[in-house]
Amino acid sequence: MLLLIILSLIPGIYCNSDSDKRCASNGGIGNYVKGDGIGISLVQSNNNSILENSVISNRIGIYLVMSNNTTIAENVVSKSREYGLFLEGSNGNTIARNSIYHNVYSGISIWDSQDNLLRDNNATYNSDGISIWDSDSNNLSNNDASYNYWWGIYQFRSDKNNLTGNNVSCNGENGLILYDSGGNTIRGNIARNNLGIGGGILFSNSSGNYVAGNNATNNSYGGIQFYRPTITPL
């Protein structure tokens, strides 16, 4: 099997205003990308595929800026000095079956991005597994965001997201925390054995969220807690 090894101070693989390509997959064979910059970067590039890459020891592993309808699947992203996978202003992407671990900041971080699907990812042993900032109408399902230093999933000022069937257990703080977020559906998640104040699942100043069928047991400070929220149970 051919393995392309890229060692670089600048983005190892870089697409700018480039669409409808498997621009980071080396024909589906897979790349090994390591360096002091960004491992794989897409800027204003749509309808691409980032598949089966090993992105190790970069500043940021995979970085999408204003890039839509891209599939990021079956990559290994580890030991980034900042984020494992970072989306900014990017919509309608599918992030699936990636292993993202031992990154200094979030394993997966989403900023100002809408309508993305995150499913079946392993985001463990990071500062936090998945962070969502100012991002609405995303779907997170069946992700493993356990064993992170702070939170499993951290959501801030983000509405109408659907978080279903995720494992957010054994984190140093809360399994799942929502700040200033409304209209979200939190269903069927496992939030056990978390250590932080606020318990397994914490809502802070968050209104109109739908919560049902979650397993939030054996946490150090309670199961599900609400701080100044309004909640509508299903």
pLDDT digits (tens, 9 = 90+) for 68-83: 999 999 999 999 999 9
For residue 136 the two structure tokens come to: 């609405």
CA distance 184 to 120: 20
Distance CA 154, CA 140 (A): 12
pTM above 0.85, yes or no: yes
For residue range 5-38, what is the model confidence (pLDDT) as tens digits?
A: 444 444 567 777 666 666 554 433 488 898 889 9
Q: What per-residue string of b and e applies to 148-162 under the rule 16 or more CB within 10 Å gives b?
A: bebbbbbbbbbbbbe
Q: In what order do the strands lie in the sheet with 54-56?
A: 4-8, 31-35, 54-56, 76-78, 99-101, 122-124
CB distance 199 to 223 below 8 Å: yes
183-215 burial, b for 16+ CB within 10 Å, e for fewer? bbbbbebbbbbbebebbbbbbbebeebebeebe
Which pLDDT value is given to residue 30?
Answer: 80
Q: What is the pLDDT of residues 99-151, one digit of tens each?
A: 999 999 999 999 999 999 999 999 999 999 999 999 999 999 999 999 999 99
